[in-house]
Structure 1
Amino acid sequence: MSAPYELKAEAREQVGKGSARAVRREGKVPAVIYGDKQPPLAIALSYKDIFYKIHGGGFLTTVATIDVDGKKIQVLPKDFQLDPVKDFPIHVDFLRVGRNTEVNVNVPVHFINEEKSPGIKRGGVLNVVRHEVEFHCPANAIPEFITVDLSGAEIGDSIHISAVQLPAGVKPVISDRDFTIATVAGSSAMKSDASEAEETAAVADDEAEETEE
């Protein structure tokens, strides 16, 4: 799990498009905190703080504390909107996190020990089916990533979610099947070599048949 952090914010008395535009003109980002059976709270955050958090990685999987005019609220970022042209943040949604809050989050997949995969050593290619996997887990125990060990993986092997060791309380949202995360496939060069070998063998067989005739 990524290290928690704190952001300072100001409460917003007014909401709506006009209010949001006014907040942005002041160099801030409008946001809303909701959930935990409490009314939504409209806030304004530092543009610089939010920009670096969003683009720094792990934003949607890291619990944060927001200091709203002296009141500290534990939250998990749930969504954000970026300007379609300039790519800067224009709105953020936060979910209040209580002691027993559980959430669905997309967690990145990391692959290790490619050098210990016989299939990759022989020219095979790692085909990543899922770069992220959605999990249901406690909000205060979200894994930063899950690790897939490729040791011993041969060409034609598939790595399923059941092969991944998950932290306690972390469960895949897809629970009705043992879905594939990645496969080790033969490279196009290997396939080309195999085709050439098959063609050579076929020619040899034809020539042998002609000789026998």
Structure 2
Amino acid sequence: MTAVGNLRVETRANAGRGASRALRNQNKIPGILYGGDKENVLLAVDPRDVLKGLHQAGFYSTIFELNLNGKTEKALVRDVQFHPVTDNPIHIDFWRVSKDSKIHLSIPVVFINENKCPGIKRGGVLNIVLHTLDVTCLADNIPEQITVDLEGLEIGASVHTASINLPKGVAVTHLERDSTLATIVPPTVQTEGAAGSSESSASS
């Protein structure tokens, strides 16, 4: 089910570097809303909402309801630009969506049931290859996450995109259709005796 969020935004009249700099001096982030058959709208965004969202999973796959002069526009965050030194957000792009919009985006991958994974219980380690998965779906059907069940997997087992259960209406568009999501790799713990022997050999 599509996650819905809210960001405090205002419309602004002036564009350009000078206007953006003045806006940042007022502790606001310049932004733009584009897409659909409507005109672009210049925005001023509350940085506290953006910073909070960036620290939460699914920020880029959340539909935000933007209240603009009494009208609500639904949009996805398409891009956030950051300052090269401070790493603070300095610009944000929103893309309009409707319930019938077919969109391409990255969804977080979440692994469950590690406690029911025989390979991990025997000392194996979960090696995650993909933390997100590229998919296409309708705007009303964006999954908050892709869930991968580790129950029953032994050491050496791998999970591939072709073997996971995707929500209805969601299709993988990753570069490799059968990409490896994760592998249960063997433990690589070295015993103290073996380590000591290696050191003795090295010093002799």
Under a length normalisation based on structure 2, what TM-score does the superposition of the two structures give?
A: 0.86
Q: Verify the 8 A CA contact 2:161 2:177 in the aligned structure 1.
A: no
Give 1:176 deviation, angstroms.
5.7
Identical positions, percent: 41
Question: Once superposed, which parts of structure 1, at least 4 consecutive aligned residues long, lie more than 4 Å away?
Answer: none
| Equivalent AA in structure 2 for residue 121 of structure 1 | K
Distance in 2 of aligned mates of 1:136 and 1:72: 24
Distance in 2 of aligned mates of 1:34 and 1:148: 34
Give 1:40's aligned residue.
40
Give 2:30's aligned residue.
30
| Equivalent AA in structure 1 for residue 86 of structure 2 | K
Under a length normalisation based on structure 1, what TM-score does the superposition of the two structures give?
A: 0.82
Instruction: Report Cα offsets for 1:66-101 as digits up to 9, x if no partner.
Output: 111222111111111122332322111001012311
For the structure 1 residues 176 and 7, does the alpha-carbon distance in structure 2 shift closer, same or farther, using more than 3 Å as the test? closer
Q: How many residues get paired?
A: 192
2:75 aligned with 1:75, yes or no? Answer: yes
Q: Verify the 8 A CA contact 1:28 1:44 in the aligned structure 2.
A: yes
RMSD across aligned C-alpha pairs, in angstroms? 1.9
For the structure 1 residues 126 and 57, does the alpha-carbon distance in structure 2 shift closer, same or farther, using more than 3 Å as the test? closer
| Equivalent AA in structure 1 for residue 51 of structure 2 | F
Q: Which has the larger radius of gyration?
A: 1
Give 1:2 deviation, angstroms.
6.0
Distance in 1 of aligned mates of 2:171 and 2:86: 37
Where does structure 1 lack aligned partners over 5 or more consecutive residues?
197-213
2:91 aligned with 1:91, yes or no? Answer: yes
Distance in 2 of aligned mates of 1:103 and 1:23: 31
Superposed, which structure 2 residues align to 1:52-71 within 5 Å?
52-71=52-71
Where does structure 2 lack aligned partners over 5 or more consecutive residues?
195-204
Say which structure is richer in helix. Answer: 1
For the structure 1 residues 107 and 47, does the alpha-carbon distance in structure 2 shift closer, same or farther, using more than 3 Å as the test? same
